[in-house]
Amino acid sequence: EAQVTQNPRYLITVTGKKLTVTCSQNMNHEYMSWYRQDPGLGLRQIYYSMNVEVTDKGDVPEGYKVSRKEKRNFPLILESPSPNQTSLYFCASSLKTGSPGFFGPGTRLTVL
Amino acid sequence: AQTVTQSQPEMSVQEAETVTLSCTYDTSESNYYLFWYKQPPSRQMILVIRQEAYKQQNATENRFSVNFQKAAKSFSLKISDSQLGDTAMYFCAFMTGSGNTGKLIFGQGTTLQVKP
Q: Provide the 8-state DSSP code for A17.
A: -
Residue B29: which pLDDT band, with cuts at 50, 70 and 90? confident
| Among B6, B45, B105, beta carbon nearest to A90 | B45
- Chain A closest CA to B61's CA: distance in Å? 15
- For chain B, the first-to-last Cα distance in angstroms comes to 41
- Chain A closest CA to B99's CA: distance in Å? 11
Residues B36, B27: contact at Cβ < 8 Å? no
Q: B105 CB near a chain A CB, below 8 Å? A: yes
pLDDT tens-place string over residues A71-86: 999 999 999 999 999 9
pLDDT tens-place string over residues A23-41: 999 999 988 999 999 988 8
| Among A33, A58, A98, beta carbon nearest to B33 | A98
| Among A42, A43, A48, beta carbon nearest to B102 | A48
Q: A105 CB near a chain B CB, below 8 Å? A: yes
For position B56, what pLDDT does the model report?
84
Task: Output phi, psi for A80, to 5 deg.
Answer: -145, 80
The β-bridge partners of A102 are: A93, B46
**pLDDT tops 70 at residue A97:** no
The stretch B92-113 carries a mean pLDDT of: 83
Residues A92, A43: contact at Cβ < 8 Å? no
Residues of A in contact with B100 (CB under 8 A): 50, 97
Residues 19-58 of B with CB under 8 A from A: 33, 35, 43-47, 50, 52
Residue B68: which pLDDT band, with cuts at 50, 70 and 90? very high
Residues A47, A57: contact at Cβ < 8 Å? yes
Residues of B in contact with A103 (CB under 8 A): 44-46
Region of A9 on the Ramachandran plot (φ > 0 left; ψ -120 to 50 alpha; else beta): alpha
Residues of A in contact with B43 (CB under 8 A): 88, 105-106
For position A95, what pLDDT does the model report?
78
Longest Cα separation, chain A? 37
pLDDT tens-place string over residues B11-25: 999 999 999 999 999
Residues B46, B38: contact at Cβ < 8 Å? yes
- For residue A48, give the chain B residue with the closest CA: B102
Between chains, do A31 and B102 touch, taking CB under 8 Å as contact? yes
